[in-house]
Amino acid sequence: MGKDGTFKISIFEDLHFGEAEDLDWGPAADIKSVKVMETLLDVEKPDLVVLNGDLITGENTYFHNATHYLDQIVQPMVQRKVPWASTYGNHDHQFNLSSSKLISREREKYGHLSLTRSMVSVHSDEGHAGISNYVLPIHSKSSTRQDTKNPVALLWFFDSKGGHQYRKLDKHQKEIELDGFVHPSVVTWFRRTNAVLNPNGDIPSLAFVHIPIFAAAAFQKQGVRKHKEPGINDDNPLSPQAIQNGEYTGEDVPFIRALAEIKGLKAVFSGHDHGDDWCFKWDSKLDGMNISGPGLSVCFGRHTGYGGYGTWTRGSRQILLREDTIFEEVETWIRLENEKISGRVMLNETYGQDRYPAVEEEVTPPGRSK
């Protein structure tokens, strides 16, 4: 926490660097993405940046340079000395892009600012658990060096995988797909670690994962209300975890159940669907789910990069935590690249009942990739 007792997080979603690197518009899109990040950092001045998946369009990169795009991505934070923490998305797990090598580059080259960690065993094929599963504490403004074992909040990061295994082909010489959901071994780690760090549930926490949970899809099907859940809702239906051949398999249920049962968890933030940036309050049983809503807020960020599909004005979700009121409310909004604020809401007990102004949809030139 800062001296004023606040902590601000900026989420950069779906940057998609390295897309179409052999064409003129690809490198030009990356330059535009850097400018978006620079603008948002200078306007919001966050304490932490979360790179919440799809940093790189790995299927468009070559083996020799895939992880090098990280240097371009983090330069705006390095120049401003702003720390960041990453989750990796389906486009960060590809035949020529190793998420293991990506995290190694983060830690070895930018260890003074990168807070990205890997706290769960990956297994031998880099496929099961994923890489970016870890927890970070936030400490009080009054904490001393001797008093850092009692955080005022916890930030959880999960790898929802997807994409393809690194440098592996099947017997037909085709790339091998990775499951697109948080693995049960990660859920076990989540429960055990939370039981140690937060046994009584009296430390509020937030979670970040690239691919949204099925609860978001179930809520969207019921209807996103423009004055209750303000935001763009153009990716409809959205694409949640555990989708196989267009059908929901339910393999993310252990993760969803953990999110519903972990005490103190206030909100979950995702990207992946570039055309959605609303939040909803999961406080009831949703159609197609046998898990009752725990009052958890579930939010999408805003597509930040000029790589990737979509014409929506780029931007970034902001999260403002106040040490004295974290348990009661979390303030969040979208800051657009034109510096406008969109969809400012208060995630609290009455969110979903309170009325907010509807979000006006704005567009900029399109990206290219899905």
Each domain of the chain, given as residue ranges in start order, spans 6-347
Backbone angles phi, psi at 163, to 5 degrees: 80, -140
Does 148 have pLDDT greater than 60? Answer: no
- The predicted-structure confidence for 270-292, as pLDDT tens digits, reads as follows 999 999 999 999 998 898 888 98
Of 332 and 287, more confident: 332
CATH code for the structural domain at 6-347: 3.60.21.10
- Segment 11-39 mean pLDDT: 92
pTM over 0.75: yes
Structure tokens at 365: 């030139």
Both tokens of 327, joined, read 């348990």
φ, ψ for residue 87, nearest 5 deg: -110, 155
> What DSSP letter does each residue of 186-199 carry, written as one string?
HHHHHHHHHHHH-T
Q: Can you tell me the distance from the alpha carbon of 129 to that of 200, in angstroms, rounded to the nearest whole number?
A: 27
Q: Could you tell me whether strands 164-169 and 175-177 are parallel, antiparallel, or unpaired per DSSP bridges?
A: antiparallel
Residues in the chain: 370
Say how far apart CA 357 and CA 339 lie, in whole Å: 18
Question: What would the pLDDT profile of 226-253 be if each residue is shown by its tens digit?
Answer: 999 999 999 999 999 999 888 899 999 9
Residue 218's pLDDT is what?
95
Strands of 148-293, DSSP E: 153-158, 164-169, 175-177, 205-209, 243-244, 247-248, 265-270, 279-282
pLDDT at position 127 is 53
CB-based contact 89:54 (threshold 8 Å): yes
Read off the pLDDT of each residue in 344-357 and give the average, rounded to a whole number. 97
Pairing of strands 296-300, 279-282: antiparallel
Burial class (CB in 10 A: 0-12, 13-18, 19+), 316: buried
When pLDDT is cut at 50, 70 and 90, the band that residue 370 belongs to is very low
Question: Nearest-5° angle of CA 115, CA 187, CA 288?
Answer: 120
- pLDDT tens, 198-228? 999 999 999 999 999 999 999 999 999 999 9
Question: Cβ distance 317 to 304 under 8 Å?
Answer: no
Q: Distance (Å, rounded) from C-alpha 86 to C-alpha 158?
A: 9
pLDDT in tens, 118-134: 999 876 444 578 999 99
- Token pair for 246: 């267009």
